[in-house]
Amino acid sequence: MEIRTEESIVAHLISEAIRQKFPGRILIAMIFSLLFCRSSLVLAQESPYIVTYNHYLEEPGSLEVEYFSTFGTQRGGNDFHAFWAEFEYGATAWWTTELYLDGQTTFHDSTVFTGFRWENRLRLLQREHLVNPVLYIEYEQISGADKILKEIEGHDGESDSADSNAALRKEHKHELELKLLLSSTFKGWNVAVNPIVAKNLLPSEPWEFAYAIGASRPLTLKASPNRCNFCLENFVAGVEMYGGLGNTRSLGLHDTSHYLAPALAWNLPSDWTFRLSSGFGLNDNSHRLLLRWGISREFSGFGEMVRRWFGGQR
Amino acid sequence: MKTAYALFRPGGHLGLASIGVVVASFVVFEISGALAEEKDAGAGQIRQSTYAALAEAPEKARVKKNPLEGDAEAVAVGAKLFEQHCAECHGRNAGGTKKGPSLLREEVHQATPGTLFWILTNGVVRRGMPVWSKLPEQQRWQIVTFLKSSTAQSESPQSAKPAPH
């Protein structure tokens, strides 16, 4: 009964927003309704990776709402705090789709919204194999002020983000990014390798290359009988390494940046996951430190719930 | 405040992004809904083929022994893991929901522990069950131990038929 009441309130909020033609309010109503709605108890089993992807997709019908922050040091400019929200939906067991909204604050400068990304991950093989491939396709429309540094591509380096936000925002990027997510899980260890190619959709721009690799393992493999927040089984530790590999005009490691980042995920029985990662720049072209943290919550049965909001029968 | 206004003002980036979100969400829900409808069509056939996935387990996987067989603690832990990861689709008592089939049926009861472990590891992706190899091997065996300890219940006279092998 209680769930029905919450749903009817949410349905009312959304229909009012639609009636008044405020798309922004629709989005805000949806986000707030999510925060307050109840979902079934599902323990997320998230990896600690923030940049690297393994082959596990979102469960069908589940929505994961995530918020991430990156604090970055900047030589020749002001340090920054970049942040992004992710809405990750399991459309089917083999297709996950995800929307990102990016922004950043550069200290002693300003706070700006820097763009959005839409990514899709498609599982290529039905069953588990020694190496499991997943195809990743992303379209991004961001400004030059985007500093979330989720992908380090081509000859990206620290000096690219040294300018003021006003100057950086003049650059607009429409990019297509393709990754092959190769991942293997054995004896509790996950190893993931992501070769990356990216193309600014301007014809004059070259194809850029990059990589991300990661390894992770839960702190213990056997679960305990008690429901607990601090059990070792809830923690997954790992390490990531990522960086650029040049572009079609100038392939190689010169003028590229690279990072090594130990990471930890804490999966709580209450559906919440916390992630922490500190990335250390490996050469002079890299930011010295990228300290990242994130919080996420999984809403299982979200697809069903939305269909009911809009009067669907399932 | 000024920044917040700039983000939300009519025609601002976030306003456009909101429209994009709503349109993209609609497309995704429609497509995934259509795929679900396709799955629902001929529910009897689908149900049969869902259980038929048990017969797809290779011999090597089927004869695998459960290292936790008879372990009472594994049953308790498996029950907890089942509630956390499986109950959403298969129901709290494993009796099935609209999203996932009952695991109390004869087909599941008669399947070897190795078969259930194989299904858990590989999922039945085309039918919407994700792969669960992200759970460590021990935890997957703990779930299998719990499932095997559950009493098989017949839902209908038809369900008493063994799974096609």
In this predicted structure, what is the pLDDT of residue B98? 87
Tell me the pLDDT tens digit for each residue of A187-206: 999 999 999 999 999 999 99
In a domain, A6, yes or no: no
Task: Indicate which of A58, A65, A105, A127 best probes the interface with B, i.e. most B CBs within 10 Å of its own CB.
Answer: A127
Shortest CA distance from B11: residue in chain A: A24
Of B28, B137, B142, the CB nearest to A91: B28
Q: What is the CATH number of the domain that holds A149?
A: 2.40.160.40
Is-contact A57 A51, C-beta < 8 A?
A: no
Of A23, A218, A226, the CB nearest to B19: A23
Q: How confident is the model at residue B34 (pLDDT cuts 50, 70, 90)?
A: low
> Strand, helix or coil at B133?
coil
Q: Which A residues in the span 222-251 are in contact with B, Cβ-Cβ below 8 Å? A: 222-227, 233
Residue-level length of chain B: 165
Of B14, B24, B77, the CB nearest to A118: B24
Is the pLDDT at B165 greater than 60? The verdict is no
Per the listing, tokens 């979200």 go with A302
Residue A130 buriedness (CB in 10 A; 0-12 / 13-18 / 19+): exposed
**Number of domains forming the structure of chain A:** 1
Q: CB distance A223–B134 less than 8 Å?
A: no
In angstroms, the separation between the Cα of residue A264 and the nearest Cα of chain B is: 16
Beta bridge partners of A210: A196, A244
In this predicted structure, what is the pLDDT of residue A20? 57
Residues of A within 8 A of B126 (CB-CB) are 93-94, 126
In a domain, A4, yes or no: no
Phi-psi region for residue B123, left (φ > 0), alpha (ψ -120 to 50) or beta? left
Q: What is the mean pLDDT of residues A268-292?
A: 96
**Closest listed residue to residue A298, CA positions, set B124, B96, B143, B85:** B85
Of A38-52, A186-200, A257-271, B10-24, least confident by mean pLDDT is: B10-24
How far apart, in whole angstroms, are the C-alpha atoms of residue A13 and residue A17? 6
A41 or A2, which is more confident: A41
The ipTM estimated for the assembled molecules is 0.82
In this predicted structure, what is the pLDDT of residue B94? 93
Q: Is B74 on the interface with A (CB under 8 A)?
A: no
Is the pLDDT at B162 greater than 70? The verdict is no
Q: Which B residues in the span 88-127 are in contact with A, Cβ-Cβ below 8 Å? A: 88, 98-99, 121-123, 125-127
Tell me the pLDDT tens digit for each residue of A52-63: 999 999 999 999
Residues of A within 8 A of B8 (CB-CB) are 24
In a domain, A75, yes or no: yes
Q: CB distance A92–B128 less than 8 Å?
A: yes
Enter the tokens of residue A140: 């991004």
With a pLDDT cut of 90, the percent of chain A lying above it is 78
Q: CB distance A45–B135 less than 8 Å?
A: yes
How far apart, in whole angstroms, are the C-alpha atoms of residue A62 and residue A273? 15
In angstroms, the separation between the Cα of residue B100 and the nearest Cα of chain A is: 11
According to DSSP, the β-strands at A172-186 and A189-200 are: antiparallel
How much is the mean pLDDT over chain B?
77
B3 or A181, which is more confident: A181
Is the pLDDT at B134 greater than 90? The verdict is yes
CATH tag, B43-160: 1.10.760.10
Q: CB distance B73–A225 less than 8 Å?
A: yes
Of A83-87, A165-169, A292-296, B14-18, least confident by mean pLDDT is: B14-18
**Which residue range forms the structural domain that includes residue A168?**
44-297
Task: Indicate which of B1, B120, B122, B131 best probes the interface with A, i.e. most A CBs within 10 Å of its own CB.
Answer: B131
Return the H-helix or E-strand segment holding A197. Answer: strand A189-200
In this predicted structure, what is the pLDDT of residue A269? 87
* Whole-model pTM over 0.90: no
What does the DSSP assignment read for A234-246? GEEEEEEEEEEEE
Per the listing, tokens 């190496």 go with A131
In a domain, A23, yes or no: no
Q: How confident is the model at residue A309 (pLDDT cuts 50, 70, 90)?
A: confident
In angstroms, the separation between the Cα of residue A66 and the nearest Cα of chain B is: 15
Q: Is A21 on the interface with B (CB under 8 A)?
A: no
Q: How confident is the model at residue B47 (pLDDT cuts 50, 70, 90)?
A: low
Beta bridge partners of B150: none
Tell me the pLDDT tens digit for each residue of B58-75: 999 999 999 999 999 999
Burial B32-65 (b: 16+ CB within 10 A, else e): bbebbeeeeeeeeebbeebbbbbeebeeebbebe
